[in-house]
A and B are shown apart, each in its own frame.
Chain A
Amino acid sequence: MSERNDHKVVVPIGPQHPSLKEPGSFKITLDGEKVERAVIEIGYNHRGIEKACESRNYMQALYIIERVCGICSHAHTSCFCQAFEELAGLEVPRRAHYIRGIVGELERLHSHLLWLGVAAHEIGFDTLFMYTWRDRELVLDLLARIGGNRVNYGVNTYGGVRRDLESELMADILRVCDQLEEKLKYYAALALTETTLIARLKGIGVLTPDDVRKFSAVGPVARAAGIMADTRIVEPYGVYQEIAVTPIVDDHCDVYGRTLVRVKEMLEAIRLIRLFVREIPDGPISVRAPRKLPVGEVLSRVEAPRGENVHYIRSTGADMPDRVRVRAPTEANWHGMSHMLEGFQLADVPIIIAAIDPCYSCTDRAIHLVGGGINQLTDWESIRLHSIEQYKSRGIDPSTIKMREF
Protein backbone atom coordinates (compact mmCIF):
# COMPACT_ATOMS: atom_id res chain seq x y z
CA MET A 1 0.00 0.00 0.00
CA SER A 2 1.43 3.37 -0.89
CA GLU A 3 0.21 6.81 0.09
CA ARG A 4 0.39 9.76 -2.21
CA ASN A 5 0.68 13.45 -1.38
CA ASP A 6 -3.00 14.14 -1.97
CA HIS A 7 -3.96 11.59 0.73
CA LYS A 8 -5.12 9.07 -1.81
CA VAL A 9 -4.05 5.50 -1.28
CA VAL A 10 -3.06 3.01 -3.97
CA VAL A 11 -3.86 -0.56 -2.98
CA PRO A 12 -2.10 -3.15 -5.14
CA ILE A 13 -4.03 -6.42 -5.29
CA GLY A 14 -2.06 -9.21 -6.95
CA PRO A 15 -0.47 -10.59 -9.11
CA GLN A 16 -0.02 -13.03 -6.23
CA HIS A 17 -2.72 -12.55 -3.64
CA PRO A 18 -4.43 -14.99 -1.28
CA SER A 19 -7.91 -14.08 -2.49
CA LEU A 20 -7.15 -14.37 -6.19
CA LYS A 21 -7.62 -17.81 -7.69
CA GLU A 22 -5.45 -16.94 -10.66
CA PRO A 23 -2.78 -14.25 -11.02
CA GLY A 24 -3.92 -10.80 -12.13
CA SER A 25 -2.88 -7.36 -10.98
CA PHE A 26 -5.30 -4.69 -9.82
CA LYS A 27 -3.93 -1.31 -8.76
CA ILE A 28 -6.76 0.47 -7.05
CA THR A 29 -6.53 4.16 -6.16
CA LEU A 30 -8.72 4.90 -3.17
CA ASP A 31 -10.18 8.14 -1.98
CA GLY A 32 -11.27 7.04 1.46
CA GLU A 33 -13.17 3.83 0.76
CA LYS A 34 -14.18 4.90 -2.73
CA VAL A 35 -12.42 3.48 -5.77
CA GLU A 36 -11.24 6.45 -7.78
CA ARG A 37 -9.21 4.65 -10.40
CA ALA A 38 -8.54 1.03 -11.19
CA VAL A 39 -5.68 -0.17 -13.35
CA ILE A 40 -5.90 -3.80 -14.41
CA GLU A 41 -2.95 -5.75 -15.70
CA ILE A 42 -3.37 -9.27 -16.94
CA GLY A 43 -1.00 -11.54 -18.82
CA TYR A 44 0.53 -13.51 -15.96
CA ASN A 45 -0.96 -16.76 -17.20
CA HIS A 46 0.19 -16.82 -20.80
CA ARG A 47 0.50 -20.46 -21.87
CA GLY A 48 1.20 -20.19 -25.58
CA ILE A 49 -1.95 -22.13 -26.46
CA GLU A 50 -2.22 -20.76 -30.00
CA LYS A 51 1.40 -21.46 -30.86
CA ALA A 52 1.06 -24.95 -29.39
CA CYS A 53 -1.88 -25.60 -31.73
CA GLU A 54 0.07 -24.33 -34.72
CA SER A 55 2.84 -26.85 -34.12
CA ARG A 56 0.56 -29.89 -33.84
CA ASN A 57 -1.79 -31.66 -36.21
CA TYR A 58 -5.50 -30.91 -36.08
CA MET A 59 -6.35 -33.93 -33.95
CA GLN A 60 -3.75 -33.01 -31.34
CA ALA A 61 -4.75 -29.34 -31.49
CA LEU A 62 -8.32 -30.26 -30.53
CA TYR A 63 -7.15 -31.46 -27.12
CA ILE A 64 -5.08 -28.31 -26.60
CA ILE A 65 -8.17 -26.24 -27.46
CA GLU A 66 -10.20 -28.26 -24.97
CA ARG A 67 -7.78 -27.10 -22.28
CA VAL A 68 -8.12 -23.38 -23.04
CA CYS A 69 -10.70 -23.32 -20.27
CA GLY A 70 -11.54 -25.89 -17.63
CA ILE A 71 -15.14 -24.76 -17.25
CA CYS A 72 -16.23 -24.12 -20.83
CA SER A 73 -14.09 -26.79 -22.50
CA HIS A 74 -17.00 -28.08 -24.57
CA ALA A 75 -17.81 -24.61 -25.91
CA HIS A 76 -14.23 -24.15 -27.09
CA THR A 77 -14.05 -27.51 -28.86
CA SER A 78 -17.50 -26.94 -30.38
CA CYS A 79 -16.27 -23.65 -31.77
CA PHE A 80 -13.03 -25.14 -33.10
CA CYS A 81 -14.78 -28.19 -34.60
CA GLN A 82 -17.36 -25.91 -36.19
CA ALA A 83 -14.59 -23.90 -37.83
CA PHE A 84 -12.87 -27.09 -39.02
CA GLU A 85 -16.12 -28.54 -40.39
CA GLU A 86 -16.93 -25.30 -42.18
CA LEU A 87 -13.55 -25.26 -43.93
CA ALA A 88 -13.58 -28.99 -44.70
CA GLY A 89 -17.19 -28.82 -45.94
CA LEU A 90 -18.34 -31.61 -43.60
CA GLU A 91 -22.01 -32.30 -43.03
CA VAL A 92 -22.35 -33.10 -39.33
CA PRO A 93 -25.12 -35.64 -38.51
CA ARG A 94 -28.19 -34.21 -36.78
CA ARG A 95 -27.81 -36.55 -33.82
CA ALA A 96 -24.30 -35.19 -33.23
CA HIS A 97 -25.67 -31.63 -33.21
CA TYR A 98 -28.21 -32.64 -30.57
CA ILE A 99 -25.60 -34.36 -28.40
CA ARG A 100 -23.39 -31.27 -28.66
CA GLY A 101 -26.39 -29.20 -27.63
CA ILE A 102 -27.18 -31.39 -24.60
CA VAL A 103 -23.58 -31.35 -23.37
CA GLY A 104 -23.34 -27.60 -24.07
CA GLU A 105 -26.43 -26.83 -22.01
CA LEU A 106 -25.28 -29.13 -19.19
CA GLU A 107 -22.01 -27.25 -19.25
CA ARG A 108 -23.90 -23.95 -19.03
CA LEU A 109 -25.73 -25.30 -15.99
CA HIS A 110 -22.53 -26.33 -14.24
CA SER A 111 -20.74 -23.10 -15.14
CA HIS A 112 -23.58 -20.89 -13.87
CA LEU A 113 -23.97 -22.98 -10.68
CA LEU A 114 -20.24 -22.59 -10.10
CA TRP A 115 -20.51 -18.84 -10.69
CA LEU A 116 -23.47 -18.52 -8.32
CA GLY A 117 -21.43 -20.26 -5.64
CA VAL A 118 -18.35 -18.10 -6.23
CA ALA A 119 -20.42 -14.91 -6.24
CA ALA A 120 -22.17 -15.96 -3.01
CA HIS A 121 -18.78 -16.69 -1.46
CA GLU A 122 -17.46 -13.24 -2.48
CA ILE A 123 -20.31 -11.49 -0.71
CA GLY A 124 -19.99 -13.68 2.37
CA PHE A 125 -23.08 -15.80 1.70
CA ASP A 126 -21.29 -19.12 2.11
CA THR A 127 -24.47 -21.12 2.78
CA LEU A 128 -25.60 -20.49 -0.78
CA PHE A 129 -22.09 -21.32 -2.01
CA MET A 130 -22.21 -24.75 -0.37
CA TYR A 131 -25.69 -25.57 -1.69
CA THR A 132 -25.03 -24.50 -5.28
CA TRP A 133 -21.80 -26.47 -5.42
CA ARG A 134 -23.57 -29.49 -3.99
CA ASP A 135 -26.18 -29.22 -6.76
CA ARG A 136 -23.43 -28.76 -9.33
CA GLU A 137 -22.17 -32.24 -8.47
CA LEU A 138 -25.33 -33.72 -10.01
CA VAL A 139 -24.45 -32.10 -13.34
CA LEU A 140 -20.77 -33.05 -13.10
CA ASP A 141 -21.67 -36.69 -12.46
CA LEU A 142 -23.85 -36.64 -15.57
CA LEU A 143 -21.07 -35.08 -17.63
CA ALA A 144 -18.64 -37.72 -16.33
CA ARG A 145 -21.01 -40.41 -17.49
CA ILE A 146 -21.51 -38.81 -20.90
CA GLY A 147 -17.90 -37.96 -21.68
CA GLY A 148 -15.87 -39.99 -19.22
CA ASN A 149 -14.51 -37.02 -17.29
CA ARG A 150 -15.80 -34.36 -14.93
CA VAL A 151 -14.21 -31.55 -16.92
CA ASN A 152 -12.59 -31.81 -20.38
CA TYR A 153 -15.23 -34.30 -21.44
CA GLY A 154 -13.70 -34.97 -24.86
CA VAL A 155 -17.14 -35.32 -26.44
CA ASN A 156 -16.45 -33.38 -29.62
CA THR A 157 -14.47 -34.54 -32.57
CA TYR A 158 -14.25 -33.29 -36.14
CA GLY A 159 -17.38 -34.33 -37.98
CA GLY A 160 -19.49 -35.16 -34.94
CA VAL A 161 -19.15 -36.48 -31.42
CA ARG A 162 -17.20 -39.36 -29.90
CA ARG A 163 -19.78 -40.76 -27.53
CA ASP A 164 -23.40 -41.66 -28.07
CA LEU A 165 -26.17 -41.17 -25.53
CA GLU A 166 -27.95 -44.34 -24.51
CA SER A 167 -31.63 -44.26 -23.62
CA GLU A 168 -30.81 -45.10 -19.99
CA LEU A 169 -28.48 -42.13 -19.77
CA MET A 170 -31.07 -39.83 -21.33
CA ALA A 171 -33.60 -40.95 -18.74
CA ASP A 172 -31.07 -40.05 -16.04
CA ILE A 173 -30.49 -36.63 -17.65
CA LEU A 174 -34.23 -35.94 -17.42
CA ARG A 175 -34.31 -37.13 -13.81
CA VAL A 176 -31.45 -34.79 -12.85
CA CYS A 177 -33.19 -31.97 -14.72
CA ASP A 178 -36.30 -32.50 -12.57
CA GLN A 179 -34.23 -32.46 -9.37
CA LEU A 180 -32.30 -29.39 -10.41
CA GLU A 181 -35.31 -27.44 -11.62
CA GLU A 182 -36.90 -27.62 -8.21
CA LYS A 183 -33.71 -26.31 -6.58
CA LEU A 184 -33.13 -23.64 -9.23
CA LYS A 185 -36.65 -22.31 -8.83
CA TYR A 186 -35.89 -21.96 -5.14
CA TYR A 187 -32.68 -20.03 -5.92
CA ALA A 188 -34.54 -17.85 -8.42
CA ALA A 189 -37.14 -17.04 -5.76
CA LEU A 190 -34.32 -16.36 -3.32
CA ALA A 191 -32.54 -14.00 -5.73
CA LEU A 192 -35.78 -12.09 -6.27
CA THR A 193 -36.82 -11.79 -2.62
CA GLU A 194 -33.82 -12.15 -0.29
CA THR A 195 -33.30 -8.62 1.00
CA THR A 196 -29.62 -8.98 2.00
CA LEU A 197 -28.71 -10.36 -1.43
CA ILE A 198 -30.53 -7.56 -3.22
CA ALA A 199 -29.04 -4.89 -0.95
CA ARG A 200 -25.55 -6.25 -1.51
CA LEU A 201 -25.75 -6.61 -5.30
CA LYS A 202 -28.06 -3.89 -6.51
CA GLY A 203 -26.52 -0.77 -8.02
CA ILE A 204 -22.90 -1.91 -8.03
CA GLY A 205 -20.66 -2.59 -11.02
CA VAL A 206 -22.94 -0.63 -13.33
CA LEU A 207 -22.37 -1.03 -17.08
CA THR A 208 -25.01 0.81 -19.09
CA PRO A 209 -26.06 -0.29 -22.60
CA ASP A 210 -23.89 2.48 -24.09
CA ASP A 211 -20.90 1.23 -22.09
CA VAL A 212 -21.57 -2.33 -23.21
CA ARG A 213 -21.40 -1.19 -26.85
CA LYS A 214 -18.33 0.93 -26.14
CA PHE A 215 -16.38 -1.83 -24.39
CA SER A 216 -17.82 -4.69 -26.54
CA ALA A 217 -18.95 -6.71 -23.52
CA VAL A 218 -20.48 -10.10 -24.26
CA GLY A 219 -22.54 -12.79 -22.57
CA PRO A 220 -24.47 -12.26 -19.34
CA VAL A 221 -22.76 -8.88 -18.79
CA ALA A 222 -24.28 -7.53 -22.01
CA ARG A 223 -27.61 -9.30 -21.46
CA ALA A 224 -27.90 -7.81 -17.98
CA ALA A 225 -27.77 -4.38 -19.66
CA GLY A 226 -30.68 -5.23 -21.93
CA ILE A 227 -28.60 -6.04 -25.02
CA MET A 228 -29.50 -9.34 -26.65
CA ALA A 229 -25.95 -10.52 -27.30
CA ASP A 230 -26.48 -14.27 -27.52
CA THR A 231 -24.87 -16.08 -30.46
CA ARG A 232 -27.42 -18.88 -30.15
CA ILE A 233 -30.12 -16.35 -31.08
CA VAL A 234 -28.24 -13.80 -33.18
CA GLU A 235 -26.46 -16.34 -35.36
CA PRO A 236 -27.91 -19.81 -34.64
CA TYR A 237 -25.58 -22.74 -35.15
CA GLY A 238 -25.94 -26.50 -34.84
CA VAL A 239 -29.00 -27.60 -32.91
CA TYR A 240 -30.12 -24.02 -32.23
CA GLN A 241 -31.06 -23.69 -35.91
CA GLU A 242 -33.86 -26.14 -35.19
CA ILE A 243 -34.78 -25.33 -31.59
CA ALA A 244 -35.03 -21.68 -30.63
CA VAL A 245 -33.65 -20.27 -27.40
CA THR A 246 -35.84 -17.93 -25.37
CA PRO A 247 -34.02 -14.59 -25.03
CA ILE A 248 -33.18 -13.68 -21.45
CA VAL A 249 -32.37 -10.06 -20.81
CA ASP A 250 -32.51 -7.81 -17.82
CA ASP A 251 -32.36 -4.04 -17.47
CA HIS A 252 -30.69 -3.69 -14.07
CA CYS A 253 -27.25 -3.12 -15.72
CA ASP A 254 -25.53 -4.12 -12.45
CA VAL A 255 -24.25 -7.20 -10.61
CA TYR A 256 -27.80 -8.02 -9.49
CA GLY A 257 -28.93 -8.05 -13.12
CA ARG A 258 -26.09 -10.43 -14.02
CA THR A 259 -27.16 -12.75 -11.19
CA LEU A 260 -30.78 -12.76 -12.40
CA VAL A 261 -29.74 -13.40 -16.00
CA ARG A 262 -27.61 -16.37 -14.98
CA VAL A 263 -30.25 -17.90 -12.69
CA LYS A 264 -32.91 -17.55 -15.41
CA GLU A 265 -30.52 -18.95 -18.01
CA MET A 266 -30.13 -22.07 -15.90
CA LEU A 267 -33.89 -22.63 -15.98
CA GLU A 268 -33.81 -22.01 -19.73
CA ALA A 269 -30.95 -24.53 -20.09
CA ILE A 270 -33.09 -27.15 -18.34
CA ARG A 271 -35.99 -26.43 -20.70
CA LEU A 272 -33.63 -26.81 -23.69
CA ILE A 273 -32.10 -30.07 -22.41
CA ARG A 274 -35.57 -31.55 -22.04
CA LEU A 275 -36.44 -30.48 -25.59
CA PHE A 276 -33.18 -31.85 -27.00
CA VAL A 277 -33.65 -35.20 -25.26
CA ARG A 278 -37.24 -35.42 -26.53
CA GLU A 279 -36.44 -34.42 -30.10
CA ILE A 280 -33.10 -36.20 -30.58
CA PRO A 281 -33.14 -38.11 -33.89
CA ASP A 282 -31.64 -41.54 -34.51
CA GLY A 283 -28.70 -41.99 -36.82
CA PRO A 284 -24.94 -41.84 -36.97
CA ILE A 285 -23.04 -39.63 -34.53
CA SER A 286 -20.08 -38.71 -36.69
CA VAL A 287 -18.75 -38.61 -40.22
CA ARG A 288 -15.19 -39.30 -41.27
CA ALA A 289 -13.07 -36.16 -41.13
CA PRO A 290 -10.06 -35.48 -43.36
CA ARG A 291 -6.63 -35.11 -41.78
CA LYS A 292 -5.80 -32.06 -43.89
CA LEU A 293 -7.82 -28.93 -44.47
CA PRO A 294 -8.03 -27.12 -47.81
CA VAL A 295 -6.38 -23.72 -48.12
CA GLY A 296 -8.49 -21.01 -46.57
CA GLU A 297 -9.47 -19.24 -43.41
CA VAL A 298 -12.55 -19.40 -41.26
CA LEU A 299 -14.05 -17.64 -38.25
CA SER A 300 -16.47 -19.43 -35.98
CA ARG A 301 -18.64 -18.24 -33.10
CA VAL A 302 -20.22 -20.23 -30.31
CA GLU A 303 -22.05 -19.06 -27.19
CA ALA A 304 -20.09 -20.30 -24.18
CA PRO A 305 -21.56 -19.93 -20.66
CA ARG A 306 -19.54 -16.75 -20.15
CA GLY A 307 -20.29 -15.21 -23.53
CA GLU A 308 -19.25 -15.44 -27.12
CA ASN A 309 -16.29 -17.60 -28.13
CA VAL A 310 -14.54 -16.69 -31.36
CA HIS A 311 -12.11 -19.08 -33.03
CA TYR A 312 -10.15 -18.42 -36.19
CA ILE A 313 -8.25 -20.98 -38.26
CA ARG A 314 -6.06 -20.27 -41.26
CA SER A 315 -4.97 -23.27 -43.27
CA THR A 316 -2.28 -23.65 -45.91
CA GLY A 317 -3.43 -27.12 -46.89
CA ALA A 318 -1.20 -28.96 -44.43
CA ASP A 319 -2.26 -31.29 -41.62
CA MET A 320 -1.59 -28.59 -39.04
CA PRO A 321 -3.10 -25.11 -38.80
CA ASP A 322 -1.08 -22.14 -40.02
CA ARG A 323 -2.68 -19.73 -37.56
CA VAL A 324 -5.11 -20.24 -34.71
CA ARG A 325 -6.74 -17.43 -32.79
CA VAL A 326 -8.93 -17.99 -29.76
CA ARG A 327 -10.93 -15.17 -28.22
CA ALA A 328 -12.42 -16.28 -24.96
CA PRO A 329 -15.44 -14.31 -23.65
CA THR A 330 -13.54 -12.98 -20.63
CA GLU A 331 -11.18 -11.18 -22.98
CA ALA A 332 -14.10 -9.09 -24.26
CA ASN A 333 -15.43 -8.43 -20.77
CA TRP A 334 -12.13 -7.26 -19.24
CA HIS A 335 -12.17 -3.98 -21.19
CA GLY A 336 -15.06 -2.55 -19.22
CA MET A 337 -13.72 -3.69 -15.85
CA SER A 338 -11.99 -0.41 -14.86
CA HIS A 339 -15.17 1.45 -15.72
CA MET A 340 -17.26 -0.97 -13.65
CA LEU A 341 -15.00 -0.62 -10.60
CA GLU A 342 -14.63 3.17 -10.56
CA GLY A 343 -16.91 5.01 -8.19
CA PHE A 344 -17.79 2.05 -5.97
CA GLN A 345 -16.55 0.94 -2.55
CA LEU A 346 -13.42 -1.15 -1.98
CA ALA A 347 -15.61 -3.87 -0.45
CA ASP A 348 -17.52 -4.12 -3.74
CA VAL A 349 -14.37 -4.80 -5.78
CA PRO A 350 -14.30 -8.64 -5.34
CA ILE A 351 -17.93 -9.15 -6.35
CA ILE A 352 -17.69 -6.72 -9.29
CA ILE A 353 -14.66 -8.61 -10.59
CA ALA A 354 -16.37 -11.96 -9.95
CA ALA A 355 -19.56 -10.77 -11.68
CA ILE A 356 -18.06 -11.08 -15.17
CA ASP A 357 -17.03 -14.65 -14.24
CA PRO A 358 -13.40 -13.95 -15.14
CA CYS A 359 -11.16 -16.69 -16.39
CA TYR A 360 -7.64 -15.32 -16.43
CA SER A 361 -5.81 -18.07 -18.24
CA CYS A 362 -8.48 -18.27 -20.95
CA THR A 363 -7.79 -14.66 -21.72
CA ASP A 364 -4.04 -14.42 -21.75
CA ARG A 365 -2.71 -14.78 -25.25
CA ALA A 366 0.43 -12.71 -25.68
CA ILE A 367 2.50 -10.28 -23.73
CA HIS A 368 3.28 -6.88 -25.20
CA LEU A 369 5.89 -5.04 -23.18
CA VAL A 370 5.29 -1.31 -23.38
CA GLY A 371 8.56 0.60 -23.27
CA GLY A 372 10.55 -2.56 -22.58
CA GLY A 373 13.15 -1.65 -25.17
CA ILE A 374 14.74 -5.11 -25.18
CA ASN A 375 13.97 -7.18 -28.23
CA GLN A 376 15.95 -10.41 -28.16
CA LEU A 377 15.43 -14.12 -27.88
CA THR A 378 17.03 -15.86 -24.92
CA ASP A 379 17.44 -19.59 -24.76
CA TRP A 380 16.48 -21.70 -21.77
CA GLU A 381 20.06 -22.49 -20.69
CA SER A 382 21.14 -18.83 -20.49
CA ILE A 383 18.01 -17.97 -18.46
CA ARG A 384 18.98 -20.79 -16.09
CA LEU A 385 22.58 -19.57 -15.77
CA HIS A 386 21.34 -16.02 -15.18
CA SER A 387 19.06 -17.21 -12.39
CA ILE A 388 21.92 -19.21 -10.79
CA GLU A 389 24.06 -16.04 -10.80
CA GLN A 390 21.23 -14.07 -9.23
CA TYR A 391 20.85 -16.62 -6.43
CA LYS A 392 24.63 -16.81 -5.89
CA SER A 393 24.73 -13.02 -5.44
CA ARG A 394 22.28 -13.53 -2.56
CA GLY A 395 24.44 -16.25 -1.02
CA ILE A 396 22.36 -19.23 -2.19
CA ASP A 397 23.93 -21.96 -4.31
CA PRO A 398 21.27 -23.52 -6.50
CA SER A 399 23.65 -25.30 -8.90
CA THR A 400 23.11 -28.55 -7.03
CA ILE A 401 19.44 -28.49 -8.02
CA LYS A 402 18.87 -30.65 -11.07
CA MET A 403 16.60 -29.62 -13.86
CA ARG A 404 13.45 -31.61 -14.28
CA GLU A 405 13.70 -33.85 -17.31
CA PHE A 406 10.81 -34.41 -19.65
Chain B
Amino acid sequence: MKKKQERPGGLAGLAIKNLFRKPATQVHQFGEDGIQKGYRGRLLYDPSTCINCVMCMRDCPTGAITIKNAGTKEEKQMHAYLNLGRCVFCCQCVDSCPKKCLSFSSEVLLASFDRESLEIEL
Protein backbone atom coordinates (compact mmCIF):
# COMPACT_ATOMS: atom_id res chain seq x y z
CA MET B 1 0.00 0.00 0.00
CA LYS B 2 1.07 3.56 -0.60
CA LYS B 3 1.97 5.69 2.38
CA LYS B 4 -0.75 7.79 3.92
CA GLN B 5 -1.61 10.86 1.92
CA GLU B 6 -1.27 14.22 3.55
CA ARG B 7 -3.42 16.10 1.05
CA PRO B 8 -6.73 15.07 -0.52
CA GLY B 9 -7.08 14.42 -4.25
CA GLY B 10 -5.76 10.90 -4.68
CA LEU B 11 -7.78 10.39 -7.85
CA ALA B 12 -6.42 13.54 -9.52
CA GLY B 13 -3.56 11.67 -11.23
CA LEU B 14 -5.92 9.22 -12.89
CA ALA B 15 -8.33 12.02 -13.81
CA ILE B 16 -5.60 14.02 -15.56
CA LYS B 17 -4.31 10.92 -17.37
CA ASN B 18 -7.81 10.21 -18.67
CA LEU B 19 -8.15 13.71 -20.12
CA PHE B 20 -5.81 12.65 -22.92
CA ARG B 21 -7.39 9.27 -23.61
CA LYS B 22 -10.15 8.51 -26.07
CA PRO B 23 -13.68 8.19 -24.62
CA ALA B 24 -14.60 4.97 -22.80
CA THR B 25 -18.00 4.89 -24.47
CA GLN B 26 -18.58 2.92 -27.65
CA VAL B 27 -20.29 4.17 -30.77
CA HIS B 28 -23.45 2.10 -31.11
CA GLN B 29 -25.14 3.69 -34.04
CA PHE B 30 -26.18 0.89 -36.36
CA GLY B 31 -26.35 -2.02 -33.96
CA GLU B 32 -23.10 -3.68 -34.94
CA ASP B 33 -20.76 -2.67 -32.14
CA GLY B 34 -21.24 -4.03 -28.67
CA ILE B 35 -23.42 -7.00 -29.63
CA GLN B 36 -21.69 -9.91 -27.96
CA LYS B 37 -21.39 -13.30 -29.55
CA GLY B 38 -24.10 -15.52 -28.10
CA TYR B 39 -26.43 -12.62 -27.43
CA ARG B 40 -30.03 -13.81 -27.32
CA GLY B 41 -31.95 -12.08 -30.11
CA ARG B 42 -34.79 -12.87 -32.47
CA LEU B 43 -35.85 -16.53 -32.68
CA LEU B 44 -35.46 -18.66 -35.78
CA TYR B 45 -37.89 -21.48 -36.51
CA ASP B 46 -37.60 -24.53 -38.71
CA PRO B 47 -41.16 -25.82 -39.39
CA SER B 48 -39.99 -28.98 -41.15
CA THR B 49 -38.67 -30.61 -37.97
CA CYS B 50 -41.38 -29.36 -35.59
CA ILE B 51 -43.54 -32.17 -34.14
CA ASN B 52 -46.15 -29.85 -32.55
CA CYS B 53 -45.35 -31.00 -29.00
CA VAL B 54 -45.86 -27.38 -27.74
CA MET B 55 -43.19 -27.77 -25.03
CA CYS B 56 -42.00 -24.28 -25.95
CA MET B 57 -45.48 -22.89 -25.28
CA ARG B 58 -45.71 -24.71 -21.94
CA ASP B 59 -42.33 -23.46 -20.73
CA CYS B 60 -42.48 -19.89 -22.04
CA PRO B 61 -42.56 -17.65 -18.92
CA THR B 62 -44.56 -14.91 -20.65
CA GLY B 63 -46.67 -16.86 -23.13
CA ALA B 64 -45.03 -15.07 -26.03
CA ILE B 65 -44.70 -17.98 -28.44
CA THR B 66 -47.57 -19.76 -30.20
CA ILE B 67 -47.25 -22.84 -32.38
CA LYS B 68 -50.11 -23.62 -34.75
CA ASN B 69 -50.73 -26.45 -37.14
CA ALA B 70 -52.70 -25.13 -40.13
CA GLY B 71 -52.79 -28.53 -41.82
CA THR B 72 -53.84 -31.96 -40.62
CA LYS B 73 -52.16 -34.38 -38.24
CA GLU B 74 -50.71 -36.32 -41.18
CA GLU B 75 -49.77 -33.37 -43.39
CA LYS B 76 -48.51 -30.70 -41.03
CA GLN B 77 -48.27 -27.04 -41.93
CA MET B 78 -46.52 -25.64 -38.88
CA HIS B 79 -46.45 -21.95 -38.07
CA ALA B 80 -44.82 -20.20 -35.11
CA TYR B 81 -45.86 -16.77 -33.95
CA LEU B 82 -43.96 -14.62 -31.51
CA ASN B 83 -45.15 -11.57 -29.62
CA LEU B 84 -42.03 -9.44 -29.35
CA GLY B 85 -43.74 -7.20 -26.81
CA ARG B 86 -44.05 -10.10 -24.41
CA CYS B 87 -40.88 -12.05 -25.18
CA VAL B 88 -38.15 -11.61 -22.55
CA PHE B 89 -35.56 -13.34 -24.78
CA CYS B 90 -34.72 -15.97 -22.18
CA CYS B 91 -34.66 -18.59 -24.95
CA GLN B 92 -36.09 -21.26 -22.68
CA CYS B 93 -38.12 -22.39 -25.74
CA VAL B 94 -34.85 -23.14 -27.52
CA ASP B 95 -33.74 -25.29 -24.56
CA SER B 96 -37.12 -27.00 -24.20
CA CYS B 97 -37.51 -27.94 -27.86
CA PRO B 98 -36.85 -31.72 -28.15
CA LYS B 99 -36.23 -31.53 -31.92
CA LYS B 100 -34.11 -28.36 -31.82
CA CYS B 101 -36.27 -26.62 -34.42
CA LEU B 102 -35.99 -23.32 -32.54
CA SER B 103 -32.77 -21.36 -32.36
CA PHE B 104 -31.80 -17.77 -31.70
CA SER B 105 -29.99 -15.18 -33.75
CA SER B 106 -28.09 -12.05 -32.75
CA GLU B 107 -30.65 -9.74 -34.31
CA VAL B 108 -31.64 -7.38 -31.53
CA LEU B 109 -33.00 -4.30 -33.28
CA LEU B 110 -36.64 -5.35 -33.09
CA ALA B 111 -38.34 -2.21 -31.75
CA SER B 112 -41.43 -0.91 -33.44
CA PHE B 113 -43.68 2.12 -33.21
CA ASP B 114 -46.96 0.22 -33.08
CA ARG B 115 -48.13 -2.73 -31.05
CA GLU B 116 -49.53 -4.74 -33.96
CA SER B 117 -46.24 -5.06 -35.79
CA LEU B 118 -44.69 -6.67 -32.69
CA GLU B 119 -46.67 -9.83 -33.47
CA ILE B 120 -44.47 -11.61 -35.96
CA GLU B 121 -44.44 -14.96 -37.65
CA LEU B 122 -41.18 -16.79 -37.27
Residues of chain A whose beta carbon lies under 8 Å from any beta carbon of chain B: 56-57, 59-60, 62-64, 66, 125, 127-128, 131, 134, 137, 141, 144-146, 148-149, 152, 154, 157, 162-163, 186, 188-190, 192-196
A133: nearest chain-B partner, CB-CB? B24
Distance in angstroms from A184 CB to nearest chain B CB is 13
> Does B95 contact A145, Cβ atoms closer than 8 Å?
no
Q: How many A-B residue pairs have CB under 8 A?
A: 75
Within B5-35, the residues touching A (CB, 8 Å) are 5-11, 14-15, 18, 24
Bound complex: CA A152 to CA B8 (Å):
39
- A189, B2: Cα distance in complex, Å: 7
- Smallest distance from the beta carbon of A266 to chain B beta carbons, Å? 16
* B58 interface hit (Cβ, 8 Å): yes
Residues of B within 8 A of A188 (CB): 1
Interface of B is mostly: loop
User: Which one of B2, B10, B91 lies within 8 Å of A154 (CB-CB)?
Assistant: B91
Contact B11 A63 (CB under 8 A): no
The CA of A59 and the CA of B9, in the complex, are separated in Å by 51
**Chain B nearest Cβ from A174, distance in angstroms:** 18
User: How many Å lie between the Cα of A145 and that of B36 in the bound state?
Assistant: 6
Measured in the bound complex, the distance between the Cα atoms of B92 and A125 in whole Å is 42
CB of B60 closer than 8 Å to a CB of A: yes
Q: Does B44 make an interface contact (CB < 8 A)?
A: no
Interface contacts beyond A193-B1, A194-B11: sample of 17 additional A-B pairs, CB < 8 Å, sorted by A: A59-B61, A60-B60, A60-B61, A63-B61, A63-B92, A128-B11, A131-B11, A137-B24, A145-B38, A148-B36, A149-B89, A189-B1, A189-B2, A195-B5, A195-B7, A196-B8, A196-B9
B11–A190 touching, CB < 8 Å: yes
Q: Given A63-B61, A148-B91, A193-B4, A141 and B10 touching (CB < 8 A)?
A: no
Nearest-Cβ distance from residue B35 to partner chain A, whole angstroms: 9
Interface mask (B94-116 → A, CB under 8 Å = 1, otherwise 0): 01100000000000000000000
B53 at the interface (CB under 8 A from A): no
Q: Chain A's interface: helix, strand, loop or mixed, by majority?
A: helix
B10: which A residues are within 8 A, CB to CB? 189-190, 193-194
Q: Which residues of B contact A (CB under 8 A)?
A: 1-11, 14-15, 18, 24, 36-40, 58-61, 88-92, 95-96
In angstroms, how far is the closest chain B Cβ from the Cβ of A46?
20
B24 and A127 contacting across the interface, CB-CB below 8 Å:
no
Within the complex, the shortest CB–CB distance from B10 to chain A, in Å, comes to 4
Are A193 and B59 in contact, CB atoms less than 8 angstroms apart? no
The reply to whether A194 and B5 form a contact with Cβ atoms under 8 Å apart is: yes
Find the A residue at minimum CB distance from B11.
A127
Q: Report yes or no: B90 in contact with A186, Cβ–Cβ below 8 A.
A: no
- A186 adjacent to B95 (CB under 8 Å): no
CB-CB under 8 A for A145 and B15, given A56-B61, A63-B90, A194-B8: no
In the complex, the answer to whether B96 meets A59 with C-beta atoms within 8 Å is yes
Chain B residues near A189: list those with CB within 8 A: 1-2, 10
